[in-house]
Amino acid sequence: MKTVIFVLWTASALMAFSQENPSPPANMIIERVDISGIDDSRLSAELRAAIQNLVGQVYNAQTIEALTQDIQVELPEYVAGSSTQPGLQPDRVRIVILVAKIADDDALRNNINSRYLVDAIRFEGTQLQISDELNAELQKMVGANVDSAQLSKLGERLRRENSSSGLYVDWKLQRSSEPQHVNVVYEARKAKDTLNFNVLRGTYHSRQGFGGQIFGMRYTHVPVGTLSFDMFNSADEFIERYAGYRAGYTLGDNRGLSFAINYSSFRAQWKTNTLEADRQALDSPGLYRLRDTLSGQLNWRHALDRRTLLGAYARMEFNELQMQSPTMGFQKSNVVRGSLDASHIVRTDRDSHDLKGSYEGSTGTAVIDSDFIFTRHEGKVDYSYSRQSHLIQFNFQAGRISGNAPMNERFSIGNSRTLRGWNKYEINPLGGDRMLYGSANYGYKVITGFYDFGSVWNASESSITRQSAGFRLGKTRCRNGLALLPHPECFSVTVGFPIHGGNAKPSFILGMGF
Amino acid sequence: MSNVSRSCILIALIMGIQANLFAQSLNARTDGQHLRVVIERSRFLSGDALRKLHDGVPVVYIFRLSAHTSRLGSTLAKSEYRFIISYDIFEERFQVSPVRPTGRVVSHLTATTAEATFIEAMELPVTSIGTGMFWLRLEYQAEEATETNAPGMSIGGLVEIFSRTGTKEPTRGTMEAGPLRVSDLPRVAPPRGKSP
């Protein structure tokens, strides 16, 4: 039950009061003791008696300090301090015990040490470079009460100003030589290099087989960047099944600006449906056996406010395709790609809204010596709302290609994530240059029902919209972390049924690690 | 070093880990229409979080209490609690400030009484659990309190959510108990004048 009485003494006032009243000289006799801030009837009879017993005794700071601590033990929502005032006679003093309620002061709620004053700012560990502006901000804290939020903000600014050195900056408090005064110590230390491995993250689709990452390795060398190596065998994203590796290095971390360079080499395999469609289609872009890619990518991330994150990248890709149709030989698919994305998250005690949107545009032109001349646009919007055990989710994506794009740029739906229940090789075995897709999901605890609809078609054809429905068993969010194997919570089973699919059979999808 | 010595060290290490795992035991009792937890030898204030606290830095403790149909079964009931803990570097006492749900701030606590304050605050509605067997799970994690005054989440946290690259490895743990049945749990009568 909440206490009705509110005493609006702040800790800083309490401290200032103590400062104005230095300790009296020795052998002073206590003339009177007053308690301020609470009705003394709230204290136990024993404690009241002990306080009043001070009257007539020689002043002793330790005894009074012990009594203020006893008050705090009896009234845990309060802080207590003492002050001395001159008595009516020269060798007499008056003691005032001040009691303040913690719950009325946000700073004290968050850190009990907010009632103490900062004497000095010190630095330990690795030497820091500090701008004049930041130094002025740091000096402003001297003489003020401890402010944890401000200390953390300035610590983050110190880290950012020294980001090229890859430092972590933590703060801590140390007792000063004066009672109830503290020193703030900023401790800078070099971040540790990390090495992480993971295996088997992906999906098993009853009609398309396994798709995902076989093995992954990340070595982060602070502060320079991250070396990565991944092996894939997947038929999920593209029409082709691709198997091979990707190695890369990223300079910088993913807060702010970073640059990544990657090389990948994948062997492509095609389903019979695709091989047959390629033989019959006059406008097929052709199939390849090998796809080697060298890319450079500039990434940018910026938190617009506490809930909104913006991101963008610009990438240059040099693809070499070893073609198997329509003729044998090598072709280049060099692409310039750019993307913008935004995320807005609002989370409260009861519910959360997540809204994400992205646009990616890419082009293959003769200017960068590409044999495939095309322009590609793709947009995505995802919204989810969750409240307690309920989840509502909507996803929408649309895409358009003009020109002659290679197979790995063409759109396809009907896999483990889109139009679940349909098999992409039966819908459009060569993919399409137009795509529209939407999905609505309702989840309760570990079961989620979904309704998917979408179409992939070529500009020269009319589109056919297909629908599917089904359910997924598994957690909507799981803690995969940096573990070697997927967390048991991150396994899921999905069953999708094509609607008006004729002889189309349902698909079973086992999710591992997402 | 002989094989015997190596074996002894290995056994001691395993025993130490086992002892640590079983040092904290989770149990439950009913208090009117609420299920409350009972934890013997709780040690939430420990490790890196305790070191931070001793340095005067506030730490947020997040507790998730849930009841499940079986050990890996679906959730019957769950609740989440957040506390900001700080440690008075002069008085060497803890303060517990419940922020979700907001509650009464209690200060001048020893480590044991601070931990008892967390435990006392946690509860689940008995009606959601029902009369069948269930498993009880308590997950907790501690992280440095940053910008706790403002609602929502911090920019750093937002970036980490999207990038999945947390630099701070929080102190965390999980305790489980079961199978349990509400009717078998010890009951505590509600205080006089307090409706169940």
The ipTM assigned to this model is: 0.74
Residue given tokens 């094509």 in the structure block:
A498
Q: Which amino acid would we find at residue A484?
A: L
Give the pLDDT score at A118: 93
Of residues A97 and B12, the one with the higher pLDDT is: A97
Interface test with A, best of B85, B139, B159, B174 (most A CBs within 10 A): B159
Please report the residues numbered 104 through 123 in chain B whose beta carbons come closer than 8 angstroms to any beta carbon of chain A. 104-109
Whether chain B has a CB inside 8 Å of the CB on A168: the answer is: yes
Q: Which of A79, A102, A111, A475 to mutate to test the interface with B (most CBs of B within 10 A)?
A: A111
DSSP for A296-332?
A: EEEEEEEE-SSSEEEEEEEEEEEEEEEE-SSSSEEEE
Question: How much is the pLDDT for B19?
Answer: 41
In a mutational test of the B interface, the residue from A112, A302, A489 whose CB has the highest number of chain B CBs within 10 Å is: A112
The pair of three-digit structure tokens given for residue A40, joined into one six-digit string: 């003394």
Residue of A nearest to B152 (CA): A347
Task: Establish if A79 touches chain B: CB-CB under 8 angstroms.
Answer: yes
Q: Could you tell me if B75 lies within 8 Å of chain A, comparing CB atoms?
A: yes
Cβ of A164: how many Cβ atoms within 10 Å? 10
Query: With 60 as the cut, is the pLDDT of residue B134 above it?
Result: yes
Residue from B53, B54, B57 to probe the interface with A (highest A Cβ count within 10 Å): B57
Chain centroid, CA A177 distance in Å: 41
Q: Say if residues A370 and A333 touch (Cβ distance below 8 Å).
A: yes
Check if A348 contacts B (Cβ < 8 Å): yes
DSSP A506: P
**Predicted local distance difference test score (pLDDT) of residue A347:** 79
The pLDDT assigned to A104 comes to: 62
**Does residue B134 contact residue B68 with C-beta atoms inside 8 Å?**
yes
The reply to whether omega before A86 is within 30° of 0 (cis) is no
> In Å, how far is B59's CA from the nearest CA of chain A?
9
B192 at A interface, C-beta within 8 A: no
In this model, does residue B10 exceed pLDDT 60?
Answer: no
Provide the pLDDT for residue A25: 56
* A-B contacts (CB, under 8 Å): 129
pLDDT at residue number A451: 97
Of A109, A179, A309, the CB nearest to B159: A309
pLDDT reported for residue B150: 36
Question: Which of these ranges, A105-114, B152-161, B167-176, has the smallest mean pLDDT?
Answer: B152-161
Say yes or no for a CB contact (<8 Å) between B105 and A69. no
* pLDDT higher than 70, residue B15: no
Q: Judging by DSSP bridges, how do beta strands A29-36 and A92-101 pair with one another?
A: parallel
Cβ–Cβ below 8 Å for A168 and B167: yes
Q: Which residues pair with A452 in a beta bridge?
A: A439, A468
pLDDT in tens, B57-114: 999 999 999 999 888 778 888 898 999 999 999 889 899 998 888 778 888 888 888 8
Q: What is the pLDDT of residue A200?
A: 82
Touching check for A347 and chain B: CB below 8 Å?
Answer: yes
DSSP-derived secondary structure letter, A500: T
pLDDT recorded at residue A18: 44
Give the model's pLDDT for residue A391.
Answer: 92
Give me the long-range contacts of A128-136 (CB less than 8 A, separation at least 24): A128/A158, A128/A161, A128/A162, A128/A167, A128/A169, A128/A186, A128/A188, A129/A161, A129/A162, A130/A158, A130/A161, A131/A161, A134/A158, A134/A161
| Among candidate residues A422, A460, A424, A401, the one with its CA nearest the CA of residue A274 | A424
Asked whether the beta carbons of residue B163 and residue A255 sit closer than 8 angstroms, the reply is: yes
pLDDT band at residue B162 using 50, 70 and 90 as cut-offs: very low
Q: What stretches in chain A show pLDDT beneath 50?
A: 1-21
Taking an 8 Å cut-off on Cβ atoms, the answer to whether A301 and B57 are in contact is: no
**Residues A346 and A311: beta-carbon distance below 8 Å:** no
Half-sphere exposure of A93 (CA within 13 A, CB side): 24
Find the length of chain A.
Answer: 514
With beta carbons under 8 A apart, name residues in chain B contacting A446.
74
In B3-62, the residues whose Cβ lies within 8 Å of chain A are 52, 55-58
Instruction: Answer whether B27's CB lies under 8 Å from B39's CB.
Output: yes
Q: What is the pLDDT of residues A155-181, one digit of tens each?
A: 988 888 887 777 888 999 999 888 789
Task: Identify the pLDDT of residue B24.
Answer: 63
Residues 6+ apart with CB under 8 A from B194: none
Read off the pLDDT of residues A16-71 as tens digits, 9 standing for 90 and up: 444 444 555 567 889 888 888 788 888 888 888 999 898 988 888 888 888 888 88
**Do residue B150 and residue A103 have CB atoms under 8 angstroms apart?**
no
Q: Which pLDDT score, from 0 to 100, does residue A197 have?
A: 86
Does residue A255 belong to the interface with chain B, where contact is any CB pair within 8 Å?
yes
Q: How far is B67 from chain A (nearest CA, A)?
A: 13
B chain contacts of residue A111, beta-carbon cutoff 8 Å: 56-58, 84, 86, 145
Report the pLDDT value the prediction gives residue A39, as an integer from 0 to 100.
82
Residue A6: per-residue pLDDT: 30
